Chain A
């Protein structure tokens, strides 16, 4: 039996592209918040992202992931907005944060978080804890864990090798667990007595 020949996706109209791009607005906003850690700056990045996307929509390949395309534009827009020095400061955080993550008090963190992970009201605490991570870790965790992007897509968006995505994810998740445990303890969700004290 003959296999049908592959059919190239039909070209998009401007209206069809616009509708597709707007379905990703929440995702692009979340990613922009993760990059900027500031609501106002995130709104600027989102507007710049969509302005660029609507201007160059004919370069988008129909049938590919529009979120991946928009995340890449958002990341570039963010970097351009931070060209004067800020990027170096953010990247400098990596060493300190990595050391911090490596010293994670695993037993304390896991023991404290384990009973609360199924709570339905944990979202705001996770968002707050994510905001405290250095950008290099935050971006990787947001792309893979919130936006469900594969490593290869996250690597393309962030302009780093897949192996670096993997290591940033590992450290970022451990750091996030620490921060979340701290938030939960401060909010009284995890009793100090039950979780024990960090070393």
Chain B
């Protein structure tokens, strides 16, 4: 069960911040998302905070490309397939 507060028609800054990460992670229902967007569009401080967290999340996602499975390990994993195929 979610520990998030119930959605309200209007959100104050604390309410918006409490839901910000759920919004960025696409975990909010439509009504709460609308309420959060309405607040952020009229609150410069919350807009700046939301924009910073959005850009940070995007930068972390982008770091995926900096870490890939080494080729030698890939070959060892593929080699595991041989015995398994024979066993099935």
Encode B44-72 as 1/0 by CB contact (under 8 A) with A: 00000000110111111111111111100
Q: Is the CB of A29 within 8 A of B67?
A: yes
Q: Is the CB of A151 within 8 A of B25?
A: yes
Main secondary structure of the interface of A (DSSP, over half): helix
User: Which chain A positions have C-beta within 8 A of B62?
Assistant: 120, 122-123
Out of B56, B63, B74, B84, which one reaches A146, CB within 8 Å?
B63
In the assembly, what is the distance between CA of A174 and CA of B77, in Å? 35
10 A-B contact pairs sorted by A residue (CB < 8 Å): A26-B68, A28-B69, A29-B73, A43-B70, A55-B84, A118-B55, A126-B59, A127-B66, A150-B25, A151-B25
Q: Is the CB of A123 within 8 A of B66?
A: yes
Closest to A15 in B: B85
Q: Is the CB of B69 within 8 A of A145?
A: no
In the assembly, what is the distance between CA of A151 and CA of B1, in Å? 12
User: Which chain A positions have C-beta within 8 A of B2?
Assistant: 162-163
User: Which chain B positions have C-beta within 8 A of A30?
Assistant: 64, 67
Chain A residues touching B, range: 35 or more
Q: Which of B30-50 contact A (CB under 8 A)?
A: none
Main secondary structure of the interface of B (DSSP, over half): helix
In the assembly, what is the distance between CA of A144 and CA of B27, in Å? 11
Q: Is the CB of B76 within 8 A of A145?
A: no
Q: Is the CB of A148 within 8 A of B61?
A: yes
Known A-B contacts A144-B25, A177-B56; A47 and B68 likewise in contact (beta carbons under 8 Å): no
Closest to B74 in A: A25
Q: Is the CB of A126 within 8 A of B81?
A: no
Encode A150-174 as 1/0 by CB contact (under 8 A) with B: 1100000000001100100110010
Q: Is the CB of A54 within 8 A of B80?
A: yes
